[in-house]
Amino acid sequence: MDIEQIRAFLIINETKNFTKAAEILHIAQSTITARIRTLEQQIGKQLLLRNNKQVTLTRAGELFVPYAERLNELVQISMETILLENRFTDKLVIGGPSSIWNYTLHTDILNFKSNHPEIALDLMAHTNENTIQKVIDGTIDIGIIYSKPRHPMVEYELLQEDYFVLVGRNDLDTIDLNALKGGNFLFLDWGKPFMTWFNEIVGPHFIPAFKINQTALVVKYLKSGDYFGFVPKSFVAPYLKDGELQELDHKFSSTLPRFNTYVIYLKNKNQLATDLFLERLRK
């Protein structure tokens, strides 16, 4: 198989249409059909089901998608690396949840870029799971995640210890379970340790009145409305200091869980840019 077959498959999966995929690739529909046919012959399985209305994936096609995406990404990265040779001495790819760029690594990134202009820097936002997988694949050099990795190829170091606080813009009465069930409680799933603790308080079938899955949006709404919610203290420390947000009292007897951040990288990977950035983080 070649990369053009892989790209044809991925675009058809995205558009669910051979004609639209051919237009995107600027090739004839017969060409894209031939590429898919050859790809299926090489794999030995039918990947796509096609009728007059739509294109759907077979089970084999569903299994092939993540591998095709990774193959395509590896080819793109390899080409970028070759083209960077004349302008930069190295390239560093850092990935992790979008919140790390706003609340964890902002200053470190700016200082590193200023001190090492010879290194090309590529920042990517991914979930915990995608970050770990991309470190294993080699498409990310350094990952930042919020849980310890368990893969034998991955090394990790504790980057930051943090803990949750209950905050809001206004100093409210002591928060109890009834308040969490009200319309002003803003909820975000902060991962397994937090959810284990939270479900012990509210029960496993709790449905929040207001739920958001983006950290930056949570902080924005907390600052602009009469909402309150649980967030890692480091994310809101500047707003607590200047009085934009208040740390609220609550009636939950058990201690709120910690929120730790880890830096991960491949074991035995020898790359100057990776070592330089890890050295900065350790300081």
Structural domains in the chain, sorted by start: 3-74 (1.10.10.10), 88-160+261-282 (3.40.190.10), 164-247 (3.40.190.10)
pLDDT at residue 155, rounded to an integer: 92
pLDDT at residue 130, rounded to an integer: 83
pLDDT at residue 29, rounded to an integer: 87
* Dist CA 149 CA 186 (whole Å): 29
* Dist CA 57 CA 111 (whole Å): 46
Paired sense of beta strands 154-160 and 261-266, if any: antiparallel
pLDDT at residue 254, rounded to an integer: 67
Phi-psi category of residue 66: left, alpha or beta, with phi > 0 → left and psi -120 to 50 → alpha: alpha
pLDDT at residue 245, rounded to an integer: 93
DSSP assignment string, the chain: --HHHHHHHHHHHHHS-HHHHHHHHTS-HHHHHHHHHHHHHHHTS--EEE-SS-EEE-HHHHHHHHHHHHHHHHHHHHHHHHHGGGT-SEEEEEEE-THHHHHTSHHHHHHHHHH-TTEEEEEEE--HHHHHHHHHHTS-SEEEESS----TTEEEEEEE--BEEEEESS-PSPB-HHHHTSTTBEE----HHHHHHHHHHH-TT---SEE-S-HHHHHHHHHHSS-EEEEEHHHHHHHHHHTSSEEPPB---SPPPB--EEEEEETT---HHHHHHHHHHH-
pLDDT at residue 107, rounded to an integer: 86
The alpha carbon torsion through 200, 204, 208, 211 (nearest 10 deg) reads 90
pLDDT at residue 265, rounded to an integer: 93
* Dist CA 21 CA 24 (whole Å): 5
Tokens of 173: 């009465």
Residue pair 263/281 in contact by the 8 Å Cβ criterion: yes
Please give the order of strands across the beta sheet that includes 119-125.
119-125, 90-96, 142-145, 261-266, 154-160
Question: CA distances (Å), 102 to each of 13, 105, 110, 141, 214, in order?
Answer: 33, 7, 12, 20, 12
Per-residue pLDDT of the chain (283 residues; tens, 9 = 90+): 788 899 999 999 988 888 888 888 888 888 888 889 999 999 999 999 887 778 889 999 999 998 888 888 888 777 776 666 667 888 899 998 888 887 888 888 999 999 999 898 889 888 878 888 889 888 889 999 988 888 888 999 999 899 899 999 877 778 888 889 888 999 998 888 888 889 988 888 889 999 998 888 898 899 887 899 999 998 999 999 999 999 998 888 667 888 889 999 998 777 888 999 998 888 7
Residue pair 91/76 in contact by the 8 Å Cβ criterion: no
**pTM (two decimals):** 0.66
